[in-house]
Copies of this chain bind each other. A is one copy, B any other.
Amino acid sequence: MTPGPTQVPERALARLGQQVIHHRTEEFRSLFAEVLEGLKHVFQTRHDVVVLTSSGTGAMEAAVANVVPRGGKAIVLESGKFSERWRLICERFGIEVVRYEVPWGEPFDPAEVARLLDVHRDAVAVYTTLSESSTGVGHDIEAIGRAVGPSGKLLVVDAISGAGVMECRTDAWGIDLLVVGSQKALMIPPGLAFVAVSPAAWRQIESVAQRPVFYFDLLAYRKSLAAPEPPYTPAISLVRALAETLRTICSEGIEQVWVRARTLARATRAAIEALGLQLVAKRPADGLTAVYFPPGLDGPKFLRRVESRFGVKLAGGQGPLKGRAFRIAHMGLLDELDIVSAIAAIELVLHEMGYPVTLGAGVAAASRVFADSSHDSVSSSRG
């Protein structure tokens, strides 16, 4: 139950285990066209989506190095390990960064984004994050989009662990570049990354005279979208597996997937609070929940016990939260009973380690959320 790589469904695994096909064939192009349509549904965009063979970080680099010229200015919203990466990438490419930082666990204030855009009228783009995996914060991209819109600047969103699990409307919210990874809500192994690109973003990219990119040259990917095929040899097996998971997601409908994840997230938070534990995020994401270890508890030992005794793998904290918090994901294949099991495991190990816990209190709180939201047509995704 870590925030990626998530569990891969059986049907996608079966595809991975099939003999590889050649990518310059009608068979592959037809599959690739289907994948692009599926991704557009998941990202809620009518515009272009490019598929990169890389980790999500490669796609972040593409969304920087193609977009802002050396010496240009970018506004970076920073609050956690992954939003920090936007700044590090910008700095590496000689881009001047206007840094809007809030403490880890807190959400960005859209009014401050509007103020910064007003001060820095020469900024090319605003870089931010949908779901910050290091803190479990879900930022209000819709409101940030409303703040960015009137400026005419680009809005670039790292949705690597957010898209496909929590509400994300690329076109409606005015997102110009949306960056997504394969090993989270899309439920295939790592190795593919995606960038949704708006027409305004294409215009900006075309206007940059010197883009220090070759493998990540987004214009090369756009050119080959006509076929459609990627310009360089793609991770063919992963594309085939993705076609499977997208079929499942699209037949359920992405809005229904969002509803289900939101319910799992609410249930998890209710359980955590019932156990007297404290959430890291002031504005929690739907794809994962970060929780402070109670004072005095040996956190690493707790995580090891949960895994060795119950086979449930939770993630530790990152950066300043290392040893201070753990993270529990609820994206992809997970359903209500997975959450119940994980909460029960957490309760039992806390009890065993001497933390005062009412056994069953967390599970009861989660179950009440599930009972109350049964009218939201929450159904298992287990296929």
Contact = CB atoms under 8 A, between A and B. Distances in A.
A236 B181 CA distance: 14
A19 interface: yes
Contacts of A198: none
B55 A191 contact: no
Contact of A7 (B17, B20, B212, B215): B20
A234 interface: yes
Contact of A232 (B4, B17, B57, B233): B57
Contacts of A216: 215
Nearest to A4: B233
Contact of A22 (B2, B55, B64): B2
A72 interface: no
A215 B58 contact: yes
A190 B235 contact: yes
A5 interface: yes
A100 interface: no
A149 B40 CA distance: 52
Nearest to A187: B20
A53 interface: yes
Given A5-B233, A313-B22, A214 B53 contact: no
B2 A13 contact: no
Contact of A233 (B13, B183, B236): B183
Interface of A: prevailing SS:
loop
A55 B68 CA distance: 25
This chain's copy number in the assembly: 2
Contact of A236 (B5, B13, B20, B313): B5
A203 interface: no
A236 B2 CA distance: 15
Interface in A167-224: 181, 183, 189-191, 210-217
Interface string A76-106: 0000000000001100111000000000000
Given A20-B189, A54-B53, A55-B215, A210 B94 contact: yes
Nearest to A237: B189
Chain A interface category by residue count: 35 or more
Contact of A55 (B5, B55, B65, B232): B232
A274 interface: no
Give the most central of A16, A22, A233, A236: most B CB within 10 Å. Answer: A233
Nearest to A65: B212
A361 interface: no
Given A13-B19, A189-B236, 9 more contacts: A5-B236, A7-B20, A53-B191, A55-B233, A57-B214, A92-B213, A190-B234, A191-B191, A237-B238
A12 B8 CA distance: 18
A257 to B, nearest CB: 20
A18 interface: yes
A29 interface: no
Contacts of A54: 53-54, 58, 215
Interface in A27-60: 53-58
A17 B14 contact: yes
A105 B65 CA distance: 36
A269 to B, nearest CB: 24
